[in-house]
């Protein structure tokens, strides 16, 4: 029977695309599996990981079960070693058409954001980009809205259904929108890396993982691009998402860019963290794009976030406002960063930061 994405009743199960690079599963996949597990539990269905690659180690596949997968569809083929849109789209669409999952989550990496739309267009279904929250259960969705929105939840009517409610920032974070795809399956979503929390690894789950080898129908003629080389950046990139402490700089360092970054590095060093940045500094070429926090950069929720000379444009706030403790230093007392800050100091970052470094050093030394 021909594949029909509007026959919604025929689709069952939650899938997560588990992206690998150089044979190693990316950590985003574990975040998505952890989230997918909750959705699968709410729906009472299976959670499956989908891995495309070449000779991936069995322990890596088994490990996906440790993060919640019941089953792993493993597509092993020489032409899947390095990502190409054509090969990956074909193999995934073939598999979706065969197995018919109701939900399909993909990490919003530079690869996932290339693959997701191409697959959704081929399958004739909807795709919601860069989601930051997912629900199937209306009651849980309402609980979510109570803490994250200005909606009067108890006096609002919600349509009861188990459609996937995909919430994402719109207009650079000024608005949040919850999107549904009621008429087509699978309901597809790319999910921002770093947003979903990885659940603790479960040894027993890993041991129980069922690995299903998928028969891959793929030939060179299916692929219309040549990947000539894959090159890693020479410089070691900053790991913002995994950082416990982030000290970010903003436009406020324009007076002395080098000095400002040096102070941030020193403060980050004392606190055991890394240096982040607002978009303004990246756009100005003061710091590498890998440091950027915000809507177009990375989403972080470290234990401590220090904002030095950052006014707090909504795009930036969207990427850091869930940090546990936010300390802001800014000359302008009406800067929006102070609206989300746990502690704010109105002052010159070039004067305040050195004092902060010294005081923290002293406090640590006293312990």
Partner 1 sequence: MKAIVCVKQVPDTSGVVAVKEDGTMDRAAMATITNHDDLAAVEAALRIKDATGCKVVVVSMGPPPAEGMLRELLAMGCDEAVLVSAREFGGSDTYATSQILAAAIKKIGVDDDDIVFCGRQAIDGDTAQVGPQIAEKLGMPQVSYVAEINVDGKAVTVKRLLEDGYMTIKVQTPCLLTCVKELNDARYMSVGGIMECYQKPLEVYNYETLKDDPLIDVTTIGLKGSPTNVYKSFSPPVKGAGMMMEGADKATVEKLVSILNDKHII
Q: Which is nearer to partner 1, 204 or 225 (CB)?
A: 225
Q: Name the minimum Å distance from CB 316 to partner 1.
A: 11
Q: Name the minimum Å distance from CB 228 to partner 1.
A: 4
Angle at 134 between CA 193 and CA 16, to 5 degrees: 60
As given in the structure block, the two tokens for residue 103 are: 């939900």
Cα separation of 66 and 251, whole Å?
43
Contact yes or no for 309/249 (Cβ under 8 A): yes
Q: Which is nearer to partner 1, 198 or 296 (CB)?
A: 296
Cα separation of 248 and 293, whole Å?
8
String of b and e for 122-137 (b: at least 16 CB within 10 Å)?
Answer: ebebbbbbbbbbbbbb
Q: Name the minimum Å distance from CB 366 to partner 1.
A: 9
Q: Which is nearer to partner 1, 202 or 347 (CB)?
A: 347
Q: Name the minimum Å distance from CB 181 to partner 1.
A: 5
Contact yes or no for 316/294 (Cβ under 8 A): yes
Q: Name the minimum Å distance from CB 41 to partner 1.
A: 21
Cα separation of 40 and 13, whole Å?
7
Q: Which is nearer to partner 1, 65 or 312 (CB)?
A: 312
Q: Which is nearer to partner 1, 58 or 283 (CB)?
A: 283
Q: Name the minimum Å distance from CB 244 to partner 1.
A: 11
Cα separation of 58 and 76, whole Å?
11
Cα separation of 167 and 173, whole Å?
11
Q: 182 to each of 6, 10, 179, 201, how far by Cα in Å?
A: 9, 14, 10, 33
> Which of 140, 143, 192, 199 minimizes the C-alpha distance to 164?
140
Q: Which is nearer to partner 1, 72 or 320 (CB)?
A: 320
Q: Which is nearer to partner 1, 177 or 207 (CB)?
A: 177
Q: Which is nearer to partner 1, 213 or 254 (CB)?
A: 254
Q: Which is nearer to partner 1, 46 or 348 (CB)?
A: 348
As given in the structure block, the two tokens for residue 194 are: 């770093």
Q: Which is nearer to partner 1, 206 or 288 (CB)?
A: 288
Residue 323, burial from CB neighbour count under 10 angstroms (0-12, 13-18, 19+): buried
Contact yes or no for 124/175 (Cβ under 8 A): no
DSSP state of 109: S
As given in the structure block, the two tokens for residue 121 are: 């267009």
Q: Name the minimum Å distance from CB 340 to partner 1.
A: 5
Q: Name the minimum Å distance from CB 171 to partner 1.
A: 5
Q: Name the minimum Å distance from CB 7 to partner 1.
A: 14
Q: Give Dmax (Cα) for the chain.
A: 73
Give the 3-state secondary structure of residue 150. coil
Q: Name the minimum Å distance from CB 207 to partner 1.
A: 32
Cα separation of 177 and 175, whole Å?
7
């Amino acid at each position: 029977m021909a594949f029909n994405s509007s026959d919604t009743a025929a689709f069952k199960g939650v899938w997560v695309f588990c992206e690998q690079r150089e044979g190693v599963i990316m950590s985003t996949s574990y975040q998505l599996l952890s989230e997918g597990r909750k959705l699968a539990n709410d729906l009472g269905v299976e959670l499956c990981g989908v891995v495309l690659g070449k000779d991936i180690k069995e322990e890596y596949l088994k490990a996906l079960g440790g993060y919640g997968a019941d089953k792993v569809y493993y597509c092993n083929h020489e032409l899947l070693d390095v990502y190409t849109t054509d090969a990956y789209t074909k193999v995934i669409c073939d598999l979706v058409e065969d197995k018919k999952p109701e939900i399909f989550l993909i990490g919003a990496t530079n690869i996932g954001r290339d693959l997701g739309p191409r697959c959704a267009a081929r399958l004739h279904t909807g795709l919601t980009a860069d989601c930051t929250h997912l629900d199937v259960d209306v009651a849980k969705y309402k609980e979510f809205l109570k803490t994250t929105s200005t909606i009067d939840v108890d006096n609002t009517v919600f349509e009861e259904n188990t459609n996937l409610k995909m919430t994402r920032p719109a207009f650079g974070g000024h608005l949040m929108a919850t999107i549904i795809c009621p008429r087509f399956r699978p309901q597809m979503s790319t999910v921002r890396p770093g947003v979903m929390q990885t659940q603790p690894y479960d040894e027993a789950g890993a041991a129980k993982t069922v690995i299903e080898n998928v028969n891959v129908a793929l030939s060179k003629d299916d692929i219309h691009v040549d990947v000539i080389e894959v090159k890693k950046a020479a410089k070691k990139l900053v790991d913002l998402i995994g950082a416990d402490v982030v000290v970010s700089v903003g436009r406020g360092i324009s007076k002395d860019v080098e000095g400002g970054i040096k102070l941030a590095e020193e403060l980050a060093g004392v606190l055991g963290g890394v240096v982040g940045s607002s978009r303004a500094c990246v756009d100005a070429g003061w710091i590498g794009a890998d440091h950027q926090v915000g809507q177009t950069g990375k989403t972080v929720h470290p234990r401590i976030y220090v904002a030095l000379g950052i006014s707090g444009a909504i795009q930036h706030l969207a990427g850091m406002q869930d940090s546990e403790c936010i300390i802001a230093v800014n000359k302008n007392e009406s800067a929006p960063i102070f609206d989300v800050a746990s502690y704010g100091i109105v002052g010159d970052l070039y004067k305040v930061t050195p004092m902060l470094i010294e005081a923290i050093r002293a406090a640590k030394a006293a312990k």
